[in-house]
Amino acid sequence: MPLINVIPGEKIPTAPLNTRLPIWRIPGWLLLFVWLARGTARSVVLTVRYWWITGPAFAGAWVSGSYGWKVALGVALVLIVAGCTWWRLHPSTWLRFGWYPVVGRVRRLWVYRRGWTAAMTACGLVGVHGGGRWVPRLLTVRSNKWGDRVTVRLLPGQHPDDWATAAPRLAYTFCLREARAFTTDRPDRMVLHFVRRDPLAALVGPLPVPEVPDFAGLALGVREDGDPYRLRLTGSHVLIAGATNSGKGSVVWSLLRSMAAGIASGVVEVWAFDPKGGMELAAGGPLFARFAYDDPDSMAGVLEEAVKRMKSRAARLRGLTRQHVPTADDPLIVIVIDELAALTAYLTDRKVRDRIKESLSLLLSQGRAVGIRVVAALQDPRKDVLPFRDLFPTRIALRLTEPEQCDLVLGDGARDRGALCDEIPETMPGIGYVVLDGVREPVRVRFSYLNDDDIAELAVMYPRPQIGGDR
């Protein structure tokens, strides 16, 4: 094993048989000995590496040899019946600890390991060093209902972007339609998510309403790996960008639903602005402490009221705490704006527009510490439409019309890292990309969908408390 110039990969043999003439004459018995030693070592390595095949095979052979084939068959049947019972009684643990580990191992061997060198070569992920060619090492394959997570070790000189670019081609190489590359907490490893079945293909219905909303993780939908998507509202404003009919409404309603118990208990106060005449949000009227939808002048007035409240709260909390904690007496104020550009860009009355812009800038820049959050939806994310886009720490990009808009919403390079918002089909509303804390690559998400009946039910079951007034 070399101690210098170590390449953490597998060397591709130059030829299956070495046909060069040897410089020294090697006696036949020595050659035979070397081949035998190599063969034995390789067999031991393979036996240990594929213990999940060799173990049961040896055990079966031993039982059959010692007690006869009928006993071996009986033991196999008992094991099968035990597996089926486990599956029937507790399917989730059976799938997690019994079935998917086997699927992962079989797919590692049969799908990925078999075609690995060819796939790496064809997709340009092979490294060259000292006249030899090296392929990245395939470490583990973990499978679940939706796909495979393949962990690989990077070769020297490789960058995560190389894998992000190659991922779509790798997917087709392994006979799948979609793959995305994600960095891990170790800089020398990447995880490739190969999608076998899209968990986002089916509509996600309304999610359960938590009794106490967890502002650090409000469940709004499902992620591409099948886990729930949780939005962190603590200390963050949220921007939702998407073309018309992309499902911006479903993000807003999913968020309202996840906070509904807080609205009913008075811990959350929602101020809703619907500049499109109240069409989108009117059904949730009983949930809102303020609902402005008619003329821009009154909306500017309500925003100024929010600024006043923010300033008085800041004066009250100054020196006492650095972060507001919502209570029924001092609630979290969530300002929901459907179509932000209607307030900031498309308004013809310049005076009102300037008042609105000023209030919004103040709320966005100073509201987070004192428990005021802005959640705004936007159709056109171009720079001139939204001057204060950078004041929204959390951004959600649904279907967008142009590739450049993905970077405008999620940040530079987001599209190269996999946020293909412009490729989301129109037939899949409610799907978008988000950037999760500590994850470099944007993650695909489908938000839950509330139909008109669900919204009406929500408004009836979780109305805001009737006591109140400015606090």
Ligand X SMILES: Nc1ncnc2c1ncn2[C@@H]1O[C@H](COP(=O)(O)OP(=O)(O)OP(=O)(O)O)[C@@H](O)[C@H]1O
Structural tokens at position 274: 């619907």
Please name which of 463, 447, 451, 453 lies closest in space to residue 255, comparing C-alpha atoms: 447
Residue facing ligand X at closest CB distance:
430
Q: Does 433 bind ligand X (CB under 6 A)?
A: no
Q: What is the C-alpha separation between 120 and 20, in angstroms, rounded?
A: 28
Does the annotation flag 277 for ligand binding? no
CB 177 within 8 A of CB 195: yes
Q: Does 247 bind ligand X (CB under 6 A)?
A: yes
Residue list 289-348, contact with ligand X (CB under 6 A): none
Does the annotation flag 243 for ligand binding? yes
Q: Does 249 bind ligand X (CB under 6 A)?
A: yes
Q: What is the C-alpha separation between 305 and 65, in angstroms, rounded?
A: 86
Judged by CB, which is closer to ligand X: 248, or 395? 248
Q: Does 275 bind ligand X (CB under 6 A)?
A: no
Does the annotation flag 248 for ligand binding? yes
Residue list 156-215, contact with ligand X (CB under 6 A): 203
Exposure pattern of 240-252 as b/e (b: 16+ CB <10 Å)? bbbbeebbbbbbb
Min separation Cβ 449 and ligand X, Å: 3
Does the annotation flag 250 for ligand binding? no
Q: Does 250 bind ligand X (CB under 6 A)?
A: yes
Q: What is the largest CA-CA distance in the chain?
A: 99
Judged by CB, which is closer to ligand X: 384, or 452? 452
Candidates 244, 298, 312, 365; binder of ligand X (CB under 6 A) is 244
Does the annotation flag 43 for ligand binding? no
Contacts of the segment 87-95: beta carbons below 8 A, 24+ positions apart: 95/145
Min separation Cβ 431 and ligand X, Å: 8
Which residues have CB under 8 Å from 374's CB, separation 6+?
Answer: 237, 238, 335, 337, 360, 363, 364, 367, 392
**Number of residues counted as binding ligand X (CB under 6 A):** 15
- List Cα–Cα distances, 439 to 181, 234, 356, 425, 471, in angstroms: 11, 18, 34, 25, 39
Q: What is the C-alpha separation between 57 and 81, in angstroms, rounded?
A: 19
Min separation Cβ 248 and ligand X, Å: 4
Q: Does 429 bind ligand X (CB under 6 A)?
A: yes
Q: Does 379 bind ligand X (CB under 6 A)?
A: yes
Judged by CB, which is closer to ligand X: 182, or 273? 273
Q: Does 246 bind ligand X (CB under 6 A)?
A: yes
Q: Does 394 bind ligand X (CB under 6 A)?
A: no
Q: Does 229 bind ligand X (CB under 6 A)?
A: no
Span of 181-189, 240-248, 380-388, 403-411 interacting with ligand X by CB under 6 A = 240-248
Span of 82-90, 140-148, 170-178, 241-249 interacting with ligand X by CB under 6 A = 241-249
CB 136 within 8 A of CB 128: no
Q: Does 405 bind ligand X (CB under 6 A)?
A: no
Judged by CB, which is closer to ligand X: 112, or 449? 449
Min separation Cβ 249 and ligand X, Å: 3
Does the annotation flag 284 for ligand binding? no
Burial class (CB in 10 A: 0-12, 13-18, 19+), 6: exposed
Please name which of 39, 41, 56, 35 lies closest in space to residue 1, comparing C-alpha atoms: 41
Judged by CB, which is closer to ligand X: 14, or 244? 244
Q: x/- binding map, residues 8-47, to ligand X, per CB under 6 A?
A: ----------------------------------------
Span of 89-97, 239-247, 287-295, 300-308 interacting with ligand X by CB under 6 A = 239-247
Number of H helices, E strands in the chain: 14, 16
> Bridge-partner residues for 190, per DSSP?
152, 183
Q: What is the DSSP string of 314-360?
A: HHHHTTT-SS----SSSPEEEEEES-THHHHTS-S-HHHHHHHHHHH
* Site residues for ligand X per CB under 6 A: 203, 242, 244-250, 280, 379, 429-430, 447, 449
Binding residues for ATP: 242-249
